[in-house]
Amino acid sequence: MEQLTIAFMVKAPRPGLVKTRLGRTLGNERACAVYRWMAERQSAAFPEDWPVVVYFAPADAGEEMRAWLGSRFDYRPQVEGDLGARMLAATQEAFAGGCGGVVLVGADCPGLGRDDLEAVARHLHAEADVVFGPATDGGYYLLGVSRFIPELFSDIPWSGPDTLALSLQRSKTMGLRMVLLERKEDVDDAASLRHAVDAGLISRSVVDGGRGNARAT
């Protein structure tokens, strides 16, 4: 099997554009600082020899994203549309380029580390058609696919409590071989941020306005 490609779905770190629910509690500047830290931590956790494409929004943020996350990655603007349309386009492009599998992740799950990504690779290389990382809110923090499966990206209620359940049902109906990773929590609001801090996944200094050190895990 050819090398897996990571599709990193992120927004430009602009106050008021990212983590708006968290911003209602922390303020937009501090919420943006938390988002920046999580995205930097996530990018640092990518295996060094894996191709990574940063799919960013808004479309005018290319230079900003490269200056932020560095020249190691490739950069593409996200297409217009809902999350499903954006993931569909990223996945289709990756497979058109000849990759052997795609792992879609965002910047919201501070518990997602290098070991998890390497586990996804083992599953996709062995027996799985699709790997889901279940999130505690009913969605998923990771999706890995061994081939282009457009049906996974249409007619799904995104960012809702039934997103994962309906995706699993769709996969079962299609006869796909599925693997589920450990359930983890995305950081989207004050409660989930508090849980991440209490678990040692995010430093208190980041929440209080400091930069902290984004490290690979």
Are 44 and 216 in contact by the 8 Å Cβ rule? The answer is yes
How far apart CA 43 and CA 83 sit, in angstroms, is 20
pLDDT of residue 210: 54
The CATH number fitting domain 4-207, selected from 3.40.50.880, 3.90.550.10, 3.40.50.11440, 3.40.50.2300: 3.90.550.10
Q: Are 156 and 176 in contact (CB under 8 A)?
A: no
Confidence at residue 212, expressed as pLDDT on a 0 to 100 scale: 52
Count Cβ neighbours within 10 Å for each residue of 11-34 and write b for 16 or more, e otherwise: bbbebebbbeebbeebebebbbbb
Report the pLDDT value the prediction gives residue 91, as an integer from 0 to 100.
97
Amino acid at 7: A
Mean pLDDT by runs of 10 across the 217 residues of the chain is 87 96 94 97 95 97 97 96 96 92 97 96 94 97 97 94 96 98 96 96 86 52
> What phi and psi values does residue 93 have, to the nearest 5 degrees?
-65, -40
Question: Distance (Å, rounded) from C-alpha 138 to C-alpha 134?
Answer: 7
